[in-house]
Amino acid sequence: MNEFRYAGKARLVTKEVEKVIAGKHGCVEKVMMAFLAGGHVLIEDIPGVGKTTLAVAFARAMDLRQGRVQFTPDVMPSDITGFSMYDKMEGIFRYHPGAVMCNLFLADEINRTSTKTQAALLEVMEEKAVTVDGVTHPVPEPFQVIATENPIGSAGTQMLPESQLDRFMICVDMGYPGREDEIEILMGNAGYGPLGRMQAVITSSELRKMQEETREVFLHKIIYDYIVSLAEATRNHPMLSLGLSPRGSLAAVQMAKASAYISGRTFAVPDDVTRIFPDIARHRVILNAQAKASHTAVSDILEDILSSVNKPRPEKGQR
Protein backbone atom coordinates (compact mmCIF):
# COMPACT_ATOMS: atom_id res chain seq x y z
CA MET A 1 0.00 0.00 0.00
CA ASN A 2 1.35 3.44 -0.89
CA GLU A 3 1.97 6.14 1.68
CA PHE A 4 -0.99 8.39 2.40
CA ARG A 5 -0.80 11.79 0.78
CA TYR A 6 -2.11 13.92 3.67
CA ALA A 7 -0.79 11.99 6.69
CA GLY A 8 1.97 14.50 7.44
CA LYS A 9 -0.55 17.29 7.92
CA ALA A 10 -1.80 15.69 11.15
CA ARG A 11 1.54 16.53 12.73
CA LEU A 12 1.27 20.12 11.53
CA VAL A 13 -2.04 20.46 13.37
CA THR A 14 -0.76 19.01 16.66
CA LYS A 15 2.34 21.21 16.57
CA GLU A 16 0.19 24.31 16.02
CA VAL A 17 -2.15 23.37 18.88
CA GLU A 18 0.81 22.72 21.18
CA LYS A 19 1.82 26.35 20.76
CA VAL A 20 -1.19 27.02 23.02
CA ILE A 21 -1.51 23.79 25.04
CA ALA A 22 1.90 23.27 26.66
CA GLY A 23 3.04 19.94 28.07
CA LYS A 24 -0.01 17.92 26.98
CA HIS A 25 1.31 16.16 23.88
CA GLY A 26 -0.48 12.90 24.66
CA CYS A 27 -3.86 14.58 25.13
CA VAL A 28 -3.46 16.75 22.02
CA GLU A 29 -2.51 13.73 19.93
CA LYS A 30 -5.49 11.67 21.18
CA VAL A 31 -7.90 14.48 20.27
CA MET A 32 -6.30 14.74 16.82
CA MET A 33 -6.76 10.99 16.37
CA ALA A 34 -10.43 11.37 17.24
CA PHE A 35 -10.75 14.03 14.54
CA LEU A 36 -9.11 11.69 12.03
CA ALA A 37 -11.50 8.91 13.07
CA GLY A 38 -14.51 11.23 12.76
CA GLY A 39 -15.53 10.82 16.41
CA HIS A 40 -16.68 13.06 19.21
CA VAL A 41 -14.51 13.91 22.23
CA LEU A 42 -15.39 14.25 25.92
CA ILE A 43 -12.89 16.09 28.11
CA GLU A 44 -13.42 15.60 31.82
CA ASP A 45 -11.40 17.63 34.29
CA ILE A 46 -11.51 20.40 36.85
CA PRO A 47 -12.14 24.00 35.71
CA GLY A 48 -9.24 26.10 34.48
CA VAL A 49 -6.85 23.51 33.02
CA GLY A 50 -7.43 24.50 29.37
CA LYS A 51 -10.30 22.30 28.15
CA THR A 52 -12.04 25.10 26.25
CA THR A 53 -8.75 26.52 24.98
CA LEU A 54 -7.88 23.11 23.53
CA ALA A 55 -11.12 22.98 21.54
CA VAL A 56 -10.73 26.55 20.24
CA ALA A 57 -7.10 25.85 19.27
CA PHE A 58 -8.10 22.84 17.15
CA ALA A 59 -10.82 24.86 15.42
CA ARG A 60 -8.34 27.58 14.48
CA ALA A 61 -5.57 25.20 13.42
CA MET A 62 -7.92 23.39 11.02
CA ASP A 63 -9.87 26.46 9.87
CA LEU A 64 -13.15 25.00 11.13
CA ARG A 65 -16.33 26.99 11.62
CA GLN A 66 -16.93 26.81 15.35
CA GLY A 67 -20.09 26.92 17.43
CA ARG A 68 -20.11 27.12 21.19
CA VAL A 69 -22.70 26.91 23.94
CA GLN A 70 -21.94 27.41 27.62
CA PHE A 71 -24.34 24.86 29.07
CA THR A 72 -26.43 26.00 32.04
CA PRO A 73 -29.73 24.68 33.42
CA ASP A 74 -31.72 27.24 31.40
CA VAL A 75 -30.25 26.38 27.96
CA MET A 76 -33.09 25.16 25.73
CA PRO A 77 -33.01 22.47 23.00
CA SER A 78 -33.79 25.18 20.42
CA ASP A 79 -30.54 26.93 21.37
CA ILE A 80 -28.80 23.83 20.06
CA THR A 81 -30.96 22.78 17.11
CA GLY A 82 -32.42 26.09 15.96
CA PHE A 83 -36.08 27.01 15.53
CA SER A 84 -38.71 28.01 12.96
CA MET A 85 -40.19 31.50 12.89
CA TYR A 86 -43.11 32.73 10.82
CA ASP A 87 -42.16 35.19 8.06
CA LYS A 88 -45.09 37.58 7.55
CA MET A 89 -43.76 38.89 4.25
CA GLU A 90 -43.39 35.44 2.66
CA GLY A 91 -46.19 33.76 4.58
CA ILE A 92 -43.98 30.78 5.48
CA PHE A 93 -42.00 29.45 8.44
CA ARG A 94 -38.26 29.97 8.10
CA TYR A 95 -35.64 27.91 9.84
CA HIS A 96 -33.16 29.82 11.99
CA PRO A 97 -30.06 27.67 12.55
CA GLY A 98 -28.91 26.76 16.04
CA ALA A 99 -25.39 26.64 17.42
CA VAL A 100 -24.68 23.15 16.02
CA MET A 101 -24.71 24.37 12.42
CA CYS A 102 -20.91 24.42 12.31
CA ASN A 103 -17.92 22.11 11.81
CA LEU A 104 -16.76 21.94 15.43
CA PHE A 105 -19.31 22.34 18.20
CA LEU A 106 -17.98 23.04 21.69
CA ALA A 107 -20.41 21.91 24.38
CA ASP A 108 -18.93 23.62 27.41
CA GLU A 109 -19.78 22.00 30.78
CA ILE A 110 -22.28 19.66 29.19
CA ASN A 111 -23.24 18.04 32.50
CA ARG A 112 -24.72 21.26 33.87
CA THR A 113 -27.72 21.42 31.51
CA SER A 114 -31.08 19.62 31.47
CA THR A 115 -31.57 16.11 30.13
CA LYS A 116 -33.91 17.47 27.44
CA THR A 117 -31.19 19.71 26.04
CA GLN A 118 -28.68 16.87 26.25
CA ALA A 119 -31.08 14.68 24.24
CA ALA A 120 -31.26 17.34 21.52
CA LEU A 121 -27.47 17.31 21.25
CA LEU A 122 -27.47 13.50 21.27
CA GLU A 123 -29.56 13.41 18.09
CA VAL A 124 -27.12 15.68 16.28
CA MET A 125 -24.13 13.65 17.42
CA GLU A 126 -25.65 10.41 16.17
CA GLU A 127 -27.54 11.53 13.06
CA LYS A 128 -25.45 14.59 12.05
CA ALA A 129 -28.74 16.36 11.43
CA VAL A 130 -31.42 18.20 13.39
CA THR A 131 -35.18 17.89 12.99
CA VAL A 132 -37.22 21.02 13.61
CA ASP A 133 -41.00 21.01 13.02
CA GLY A 134 -40.72 17.78 11.07
CA VAL A 135 -38.04 19.07 8.70
CA THR A 136 -34.52 17.57 8.79
CA HIS A 137 -31.55 19.88 8.41
CA PRO A 138 -28.11 18.24 7.96
CA VAL A 139 -25.14 19.82 9.73
CA PRO A 140 -22.08 20.87 7.69
CA GLU A 141 -19.31 18.35 6.96
CA PRO A 142 -17.03 17.68 8.69
CA PHE A 143 -18.95 17.86 11.98
CA GLN A 144 -17.59 16.89 15.37
CA VAL A 145 -18.34 17.69 18.99
CA ILE A 146 -15.89 18.44 21.77
CA ALA A 147 -17.72 18.44 25.09
CA THR A 148 -16.22 19.41 28.42
CA GLU A 149 -17.54 18.38 31.79
CA ASN A 150 -16.59 19.07 35.36
CA PRO A 151 -16.06 16.08 37.65
CA ILE A 152 -19.25 14.57 39.06
CA GLY A 153 -19.89 16.05 42.47
CA SER A 154 -18.95 19.58 41.48
CA ALA A 155 -21.65 22.15 42.21
CA GLY A 156 -24.51 22.08 39.71
CA THR A 157 -23.45 18.93 37.85
CA GLN A 158 -25.36 15.77 37.00
CA MET A 159 -24.30 12.46 35.52
CA LEU A 160 -24.63 12.00 31.77
CA PRO A 161 -26.71 8.97 30.76
CA GLU A 162 -24.81 5.92 29.51
CA SER A 163 -26.45 6.25 26.08
CA GLN A 164 -24.93 9.71 25.63
CA LEU A 165 -21.52 8.77 27.01
CA ASP A 166 -21.39 5.93 24.50
CA ARG A 167 -21.65 8.44 21.63
CA PHE A 168 -18.29 9.95 22.53
CA MET A 169 -15.48 8.11 20.80
CA ILE A 170 -12.96 8.94 23.52
CA CYS A 171 -12.84 10.51 26.96
CA VAL A 172 -9.62 12.24 28.02
CA ASP A 173 -8.46 14.36 30.92
CA MET A 174 -5.83 17.07 30.87
CA GLY A 175 -4.62 17.38 34.44
CA TYR A 176 -2.46 20.09 35.94
CA PRO A 177 0.55 21.22 33.89
CA GLY A 178 4.09 20.62 35.08
CA ARG A 179 5.98 23.47 36.70
CA GLU A 180 7.95 24.52 33.59
CA ASP A 181 4.86 24.13 31.39
CA GLU A 182 2.83 26.36 33.70
CA ILE A 183 5.55 29.02 33.58
CA GLU A 184 5.44 28.79 29.79
CA ILE A 185 1.65 29.20 29.87
CA LEU A 186 1.90 32.29 32.05
CA MET A 187 4.55 33.88 29.84
CA GLY A 188 2.67 33.00 26.66
CA ASN A 189 -0.51 34.72 27.86
CA ALA A 190 1.17 38.10 28.07
CA GLY A 191 -0.10 40.62 25.52
CA TYR A 192 -2.69 39.27 23.11
CA GLY A 193 -2.41 35.65 24.27
CA PRO A 194 -1.33 32.58 22.29
CA LEU A 195 -4.69 31.96 20.59
CA GLY A 196 -4.40 35.26 18.79
CA ARG A 197 -1.11 34.14 17.24
CA MET A 198 -2.42 30.82 15.91
CA GLN A 199 -2.69 30.13 12.18
CA ALA A 200 -4.72 27.65 10.18
CA VAL A 201 -2.34 24.96 8.92
CA ILE A 202 -4.96 22.88 7.06
CA THR A 203 -8.45 23.48 5.65
CA SER A 204 -11.68 21.68 6.50
CA SER A 205 -11.58 19.97 3.10
CA GLU A 206 -8.10 18.64 3.85
CA LEU A 207 -9.39 17.28 7.15
CA ARG A 208 -12.07 15.35 5.25
CA LYS A 209 -9.42 13.89 2.95
CA MET A 210 -7.36 12.88 5.98
CA GLN A 211 -10.43 11.17 7.43
CA GLU A 212 -10.94 9.29 4.17
CA GLU A 213 -7.32 8.12 4.21
CA THR A 214 -7.62 7.06 7.85
CA ARG A 215 -10.49 4.74 6.96
CA GLU A 216 -8.17 3.01 4.46
CA VAL A 217 -5.64 1.96 7.14
CA PHE A 218 -5.30 -1.84 7.10
CA LEU A 219 -6.20 -3.96 10.14
CA HIS A 220 -5.31 -7.65 10.14
CA LYS A 221 -7.79 -10.12 11.63
CA ILE A 222 -5.56 -10.57 14.68
CA ILE A 223 -6.08 -6.88 15.53
CA TYR A 224 -9.86 -7.31 15.40
CA ASP A 225 -9.50 -10.43 17.58
CA TYR A 226 -7.40 -8.49 20.10
CA ILE A 227 -10.02 -5.72 20.32
CA VAL A 228 -12.83 -8.22 20.90
CA SER A 229 -10.75 -9.99 23.57
CA LEU A 230 -10.30 -6.69 25.43
CA ALA A 231 -14.02 -5.91 25.12
CA GLU A 232 -14.95 -9.35 26.47
CA ALA A 233 -12.54 -8.87 29.37
CA THR A 234 -14.45 -5.72 30.42
CA ARG A 235 -17.77 -7.56 30.21
CA ASN A 236 -16.51 -10.41 32.39
CA HIS A 237 -14.45 -8.41 34.89
CA PRO A 238 -15.56 -9.05 38.51
CA MET A 239 -15.46 -5.33 39.39
CA LEU A 240 -17.45 -3.99 36.43
CA SER A 241 -21.24 -4.01 36.18
CA LEU A 242 -21.17 -2.72 32.58
CA GLY A 243 -18.51 -3.55 30.02
CA LEU A 244 -17.60 -2.26 26.60
CA SER A 245 -20.44 -2.16 24.05
CA PRO A 246 -20.04 -3.14 20.39
CA ARG A 247 -20.03 0.59 19.64
CA GLY A 248 -17.03 0.82 21.94
CA SER A 249 -15.29 -1.99 20.02
CA LEU A 250 -15.96 -0.11 16.78
CA ALA A 251 -14.49 3.03 18.34
CA ALA A 252 -11.36 1.02 19.17
CA VAL A 253 -11.08 -0.05 15.51
CA GLN A 254 -11.43 3.53 14.27
CA MET A 255 -9.01 4.96 16.83
CA ALA A 256 -6.45 2.21 16.15
CA LYS A 257 -6.54 3.21 12.49
CA ALA A 258 -6.07 6.86 13.47
CA SER A 259 -3.15 5.93 15.74
CA ALA A 260 -1.44 4.14 12.85
CA TYR A 261 -2.20 7.02 10.47
CA ILE A 262 -0.78 9.72 12.73
CA SER A 263 2.30 7.50 13.24
CA GLY A 264 2.88 7.42 9.47
CA ARG A 265 1.85 3.79 8.90
CA THR A 266 -0.66 2.33 6.45
CA PHE A 267 -1.38 -0.59 8.80
CA ALA A 268 -2.24 -0.91 12.49
CA VAL A 269 -0.29 -2.92 15.05
CA PRO A 270 -1.37 -4.20 18.50
CA ASP A 271 0.38 -1.27 20.20
CA ASP A 272 -2.09 1.06 18.45
CA VAL A 273 -4.93 -0.71 20.26
CA THR A 274 -3.11 -0.67 23.60
CA ARG A 275 -2.41 3.03 23.15
CA ILE A 276 -6.04 4.06 22.73
CA PHE A 277 -7.92 1.43 24.76
CA PRO A 278 -8.15 3.37 28.07
CA ASP A 279 -9.50 6.45 26.28
CA ILE A 280 -12.28 4.60 24.46
CA ALA A 281 -13.23 2.49 27.51
CA ARG A 282 -13.01 4.68 30.62
CA HIS A 283 -16.38 6.42 30.08
CA ARG A 284 -18.17 3.30 28.83
CA VAL A 285 -17.57 0.92 31.74
CA ILE A 286 -19.30 1.15 35.13
CA LEU A 287 -17.86 0.07 38.46
CA ASN A 288 -19.92 -2.32 40.58
CA ALA A 289 -20.55 -2.04 44.32
CA GLN A 290 -17.47 -4.10 45.17
CA ALA A 291 -15.18 -1.78 43.23
CA LYS A 292 -16.73 1.32 44.75
CA ALA A 293 -16.45 -0.10 48.26
CA SER A 294 -12.77 -0.84 47.76
CA HIS A 295 -12.17 2.56 46.09
CA THR A 296 -10.83 0.89 42.95
CA ALA A 297 -10.31 3.31 40.05
CA VAL A 298 -11.48 2.61 36.50
CA SER A 299 -7.96 3.32 35.25
CA ASP A 300 -6.57 0.56 37.47
CA ILE A 301 -9.10 -1.96 36.14
CA LEU A 302 -8.36 -1.06 32.52
CA GLU A 303 -4.63 -1.39 33.18
CA ASP A 304 -5.28 -4.80 34.72
CA ILE A 305 -7.23 -5.86 31.62
CA LEU A 306 -4.46 -4.68 29.28
CA SER A 307 -1.87 -6.65 31.24
CA SER A 308 -3.99 -9.82 31.50
CA VAL A 309 -5.14 -10.08 27.87
CA ASN A 310 -2.42 -11.52 25.63
CA LYS A 311 -1.19 -8.98 23.10
CA PRO A 312 -0.67 -10.62 19.68
CA ARG A 313 2.61 -10.38 17.82
CA PRO A 314 1.97 -9.83 14.10
CA GLU A 315 4.01 -12.02 11.80
CA LYS A 316 5.60 -10.68 8.64
CA GLY A 317 3.12 -10.78 5.82
CA GLN A 318 0.18 -9.88 8.08
CA ARG A 319 0.46 -6.18 7.23
SS3 46: coil
Name the phi and psi angles at 41, rounded to 5.
Answer: -120, 135
Amino acid 190: pLDDT: 52
pLDDT of residue 152: 58
CA distance 143 to 84: 22
User: How far is the C-alpha of 87 from the C-alpha of 37, rounded, in Å?
Assistant: 41
55-108 pLDDT per residue, tens? 889 999 999 999 999 998 899 999 999 998 888 888 888 889 999 999 999 998
pLDDT the model gives residue 317? 41
Domain extents in the chain: 217-311
Q: How crowded is the C-beta side of 214, counted as CA atoms within 13 Å?
A: 28
pLDDT means per 10 residues in the chain (319 residues)?
83 92 90 96 82 89 93 91 86 89 92 86 90 89 90 63 87 85 74 73 95 96 97 96 95 98 96 97 94 93 96 64
CA angle, 171 as apex, 165 and 174 as ends, to 5°?
Answer: 140
What pLDDT, on the 0 to 100 scale, is given for residue 159? Answer: 73
pLDDT value for 156: 58
Asked if 76 contacts 207 with a C-beta cutoff of 8 angstroms, the reply is no
Q: Dihedrals φ, ψ of 19, to 5°?
A: -70, -25
Q: For the chain, how are helix, strand and coil distributed in percent, rounded to 5?
A: 45, 15, 35
b/e map of 297-314 (b: 16 or more CB within 10 Å)? Answer: ebeebbeebbeebeebee
Predicted confidence at residue 319, as pLDDT, reads: 54
Q: What local confidence, expressed as pLDDT, does residue 123 receive?
A: 85
Q: Which CATH class, in words, describes the domain spanning 217-311?
A: mainly alpha
Q: How do beta strands 144-149 and 40-44 pair?
A: parallel
pLDDT of amino acid 179: 86
